[in-house]
Amino acid sequence: MSPRKPLGLERSPAFTYHQPTSRIPFRKPPRVLRAEEVSLAALAEQYGTPLYVYSATAIQQRLATFDAAFSTIPHTVCYAVKANSNLSLLRMMAKLGCGFDIVSGGELERVLRAHKKAAKKVVFSGVGKTVEEMKFALDSGILLFNVESESELWALATCAARMKKTARIALRVNPEVAAETHPYISTGMREHKFGIPMSDARVLYSRAAGIKGIEIAGVSVHIGSQITDPEPFRLAMSRVTDLVNYLQAEGHTIRFVDAGGGLGISYEDTPSSDPTEFAKYVQSYAERVLQPLRGLGVHLLLEPGRVLVGPAGALVTRVLYRKQHDGKLFLIVDAAMNDLIRPALYKAHHAITPVTLADDVPSEVADVVGPVCETGDFLARDRSLPKCEEASLLAILDAGAYGMAQSGNYNTRPRPAEVMVEGKKAKLVRKRETMDDLMGLEE
């Protein structure tokens, strides 16, 4: 049996294998997966499993690379809070100069708790903003409302006028660009509930002009999520640019173009571990976004979520049981679809790797499944993994985005704890839920 090469599964600097020094001559101890310089085995021991672990350094590096790619134009990175809304993570993002893209009053509350003065860089997206949420956002003094329908526009105008405030708005337009991604997260086509068709938007901008409580300030677009081909972004931006040119000619002041989020990541088992590859990837995205905008004189807003935090997080889980029947092997682990729903919901692939990895361990094919009473409760199907025993630990990679943020309490399962690692330091940034947390609101 040839020794397994774990390197391909590394997500440097977030998750890499470390070879401990041997105490016994000629015996190599198993490699241990670390978050930065902290052993995931030690974290699992201390905080229990399932456990979300994030690398602060990886997030910082990804943000810096993303930001640098847009350095030729005035811009603000408004991190999409929905990807991972942990307060400590938001606080870190705010300190690094990020603004935020929010889709609810709850997310606004999080942003304000993370940083008192964050509102001035907040954009508010979403098709169903309530009047209460609008009031809250107006009171907080957010930067921009991305309005998604005519009815919403009038509701916002009424709300702002009553409060004697002015809502800066962009219409979220639908550029009719098809993006190659899962149908549940593609948003830029006419049949989707998002945005306003381009032709309708022209009319609506002229109706909105001069309305009390409304200040036309920009144009916004978001074509979908987990898009790894940058070309659709260029197409969307060139359609947005045409609209901006038209609106400016009509006498509107368009100060902002919001390009949305959506840049994907590689969920492959062995993505490139070369950091310059990531810079090149982001650069090619930036070039596509910026090309049509040149000379437009606008401030660019960007709403990346997944690309900043996805590969910086892992879900650590323990194997409870090995179960074999009819030639099929199940590894029943203590994480489930309520903790990470992406595989169940989108058939999403997440690389999985053992936390401790010895040389010469044979591989086996298994379904990695959780304890939830649904056949759809799987984290991986027919996955080839180094053989793992009961009680051993697995790391489910690329779980920093839409992991904990989409978790729930199905089967009355407390949600996992979250830990943020930076260098040698690890900090518990969310405690594991207790039964009182789950049942405290009930009679």
Per rule CB under 6 A, is residue 260 in the interface with ligand LLP? Answer: yes
Binding region for ligand LLP (CB under 6 A) out of 110-118, 197-205, 287-295, 297-305: 297-305
Q: Which long-range contacts (CB under 8 A, 24 or more apart) does 185-189 make?
A: 185/224, 185/225, 185/226, 185/346, 186/223, 186/224, 186/225, 187/222, 187/223, 187/224, 187/225, 188/221, 188/222, 188/223, 188/224, 188/232, 188/236
From residue 327 to residue 366, what is the string marking binding to ligand LLP with x (rule CB under 6 A)?
Answer: ---------------x------------------------
What is the rounded CA–CA span in Å between residue 87 and residue 416?
15
**Binding of ligand LLP at residue 189 (CB under 6 A)?**
no
Residues 230-249 that bind ligand LLP (CB under 6 A): none
Distances (CA, A) of 262 to 126, 354, 360, 372, 411: 15, 30, 40, 30, 32
Least distance from C-beta 234 to ligand LLP, angstroms? 17
Among 99, 105, 218, 304, which residue interacts with ligand LLP (rule: CB under 6 A)?
A: 304
- Tell me the pairing of strands 15-18 and 167-174: unpaired
**Which H helix or E strand runs over 174?**
strand 167-174
Query: Taking CB under 6 A as the rule, does residue 222 contact ligand LLP?
Result: yes
Only segment of 20-28, 255-263, 315-323, 328-336 that touches ligand LLP (CB under 6 A): 255-263
Are the C-beta atoms of residues 90 and 59 closer than 8 Å to each other?
A: no
Report, in Å, the least distance between residue 305 CB and ligand LLP. 3
Residue 306 touching ligand LLP (CB under 6 A): yes
Helix (H) or strand (E) holding 352: strand 352-354
Residue from 86, 186, 225, 353 touching ligand LLP (CB under 6 A): that is 225
Nearest distance in Å: CB 101, ligand LLP:
5
Site for ligand LLP in 404-433 (CB under 6 A): 406
Q: Which C-beta is closer to ligand LLP: that of 102 or that of 388?
A: 102
* Options 76-84, 91-99, 270-278, 328-336: segment touching ligand LLP (CB under 6 A): 76-84
Nearer to ligand LLP, 170 or 263 (CB): 263
Among 226, 317, 353, 356, binds ligand LLP (CB under 6 A): 226
Tell me how far, at minimum, the Cβ of 342 lies from ligand LLP, in Å: 5
Residues between 97 and 136 that touch ligand LLP (CB under 6 A) = 101, 125
Tokens describing residue 404: 């904990």
Q: In sequence order, which residues have a C-beta less than 8 Å from that of residue 22 and are 6 or more positions away?
A: 28, 29
- Give me the residue label for tokens 């101890």: 29
CB of 311 to ligand LLP, least distance (A): 12
Residues 155-174 contacting ligand LLP, CB under 6 A: none
414-417: which pairs have CB atoms within 8 A and are 24 or more residues apart?
414/438, 415/338, 415/339, 416/49, 416/50, 416/51, 416/52, 416/315, 416/335, 416/339, 417/47, 417/48, 417/51, 417/52
Q: Which residues are catalytic?
A: 373
DSSP string, 366-400: EEEE-SSSSTT-EEEEEEEEE---TT-EEEE-S-S
- Near ligand LLP by CB under 6 A: residue from 87, 127, 161, 185: 185
**How many residues form the binding site for ligand LLP (CB under 6 A)?**
22
The phi, psi pair for 375, rounded to 5°, reads -65, -30
| Sites of contact with ligand LLP (CB under 6 A) | 80, 82-83, 101, 125, 185, 222, 225-226, 260-263, 303-307, 342, 401-402, 406
